[in-house]
Each structure stands twice: as structure tokens, then as C-alpha cells.
Structure 1
């Protein structure tokens, strides 16, 4: 007796798109690069937007921390690593329902490693209009200096 043959159909997931795998790969590479550059140490902390710039005599770091006061932010310098942490509270009144949330709340952490030619003792910081500005002076050790020659 011959049994009828069954044809199996391949099903394509409803959400599948030709670029979805590239988007997932791009997102995973971004997370990998971010962790390799020291942007965050734990998955529950978000990373604020920041710029790191270099001038002739210092490094400048500007971090966006809207609505925060200086008491909400902790700034530490350990060797060449600058670590900025803090926490933003959720601005929601009791009895309110949230329909859309695009702002980030909760614990944040920003880390960056600066080159070895810094003077960690003279770091200064200021907070103005939601921008935390940190200036890390370069060390004088690596700078060229003129040496006088004595006549003998």
C-alpha cells in the first residue's frame, strides 16, 4: 500500500524583512563597541549623550543632564578614567497615565578613558542649563621645554 506524500511548507515569519537581520547586527555591534569603549558597566544604567574634545592644554567633556542639579550627579576620576553617575527621578503625578515616554529615567552612567598625559588633580566641572562641562588639564610632563645651555 502506498502512503500519500506530505509536502512541508516553509513558513516565513510575518515580521521578517530583508534588512531586519542587518538592523539586529548593527544594534548588537553598537552595544559591543559601546561596552568595549567603557560607556556603561551594567545593563540597567542608561548612557547620557556626551562629547569629548581636546584642546592644546586640556580635554573637555560635555554631558547632557537636563533637569538635574549638581547634587544629583557624582563625578569621579580614577587614574585616566572619568566616571559620571547619577539618577533621574520619574516626573509623573499620581493618577496620571503615560501614553508615550521618550525621555530616559533612572540610573545613568557615563565612562570614558582619557590619554595618560592628564593632570587628575586639577580637574574642574560646572553645570549650566543641563550641560555638565568637565575640563581635565593635560600634564606638563609630556610637553617640550627649552633647556638653556651654560657657557663653560
Structure 2
């Protein structure tokens, strides 16, 4: 059973010359995604007999920056953090803590919605989604022949 459909990943653009002589002319997030800047975090998804687990790599945030919602079997993780420009004299600056939004369609009638737990620790958001008892695998049983 799949928990989520994966989107295509865009290749990195930019060049070594741009690194040394100024901003990248074709920044991959801006150019390939319609001029908007997105920070899409990496995600790990695991399934066990009892739960689905989602791990979102999102360092640099505070647990209060996250908004996790469930509506119509769609789990949405959203972060909004205002970017602070520091007035230090960097020769190259890549830190970015902008907003992001990821959504996951949960299997219909398979999860116990009231038991979903989320915890943010060491830059990783962990979400545990328990399965309903009827969705858990049943043990093998021996059927007698009459």
C-alpha cells in the first residue's frame, strides 16, 4: 500500500562561474517553478504492521512554526517562517528558511485519525499515523476440513 505519490525532482542549475561572480542567473527554484521560491524538505515514509511514519527533514525551524492538519484523508504539513537578512559580509550565502507545504493522501478507512501524533526534535518532524485494527495484518489461522 502506498502512502504518497512522489513528484518529479528538478535538476540543479547554475554554474561555478556564477558562484564566484555573483548570483546565479538561473536559480533552479525560481526559474523552473514559475518564479516562486520553494524549499521542499526531504521526506522518509515507513509502514509497519501498526503504523505509518513520516519523517520530514526541516532543520532551522521551531515546533511552533509548523501547522499539521488532516482534512478529508489528506495530511498537510505547512511551515511559514519569515526570512531574516543578516547584514554580515558573506562571500556566499545559501541558508534559506522560507515557507513550504507538503500534502499526503492517507489510505481511506485505514488510519485512526484521533491517534495521529507529531513531534519535532533535532530538525526532524516525526508524524506517527496509527492504523485501524481492521487494517492491520491478520495472523495466519488454520482452517479445519470437515
Correspondence list, 1:47-126, <5 A: 47-93=40-86, 95-116=87-108, 117-126=110-119
Number of residues of Structure 1 aligned to a counterpart in Structure 2: 107
Which of 46, 49, 59 does residue 39 from structure 2 map onto? 46
Contact 1:122 1:137 in 2 (8 A): yes
SS across alignment from 1:99: coil
The alpha-carbon distance between structure 1 residues 130 and 77, as it changes in their structure 2 partners (threshold 3 A), is same
Stretches of structure 1 lacking an aligned partner (at least 5 in a row): 1-27, 32-42, 147-152
Structure 1 residues 90-149: Cα deviation after superposition (integer angstroms, max 9, x where no partner): 3432x3344323333321111111222111111001111111100000112334489xxx
Contact 1:57 1:138 in 2 (8 A): yes
In 1, the alpha carbon distance for the partners of 2:113 and 2:56 equals 19
In 2, the alpha carbon distance for the partners of 1:81 and 1:65 equals 20
- Cα displacement (A) at 1:69: 1.4
Contact 1:79 1:120 in 2 (8 A): no
Q: CA RMSD in A?
A: 2.6
Contact 2:60 2:97 in 1 (8 A): no
Stretches of structure 2 lacking an aligned partner (at least 5 in a row): 1-6, 11-35, 141-146
In 1, the alpha carbon distance for the partners of 2:116 and 2:67 equals 14
Higher Cα Rg, which structure: 1
TM-score (norm 1): 0.60
Show the counterpart of 2:23: none
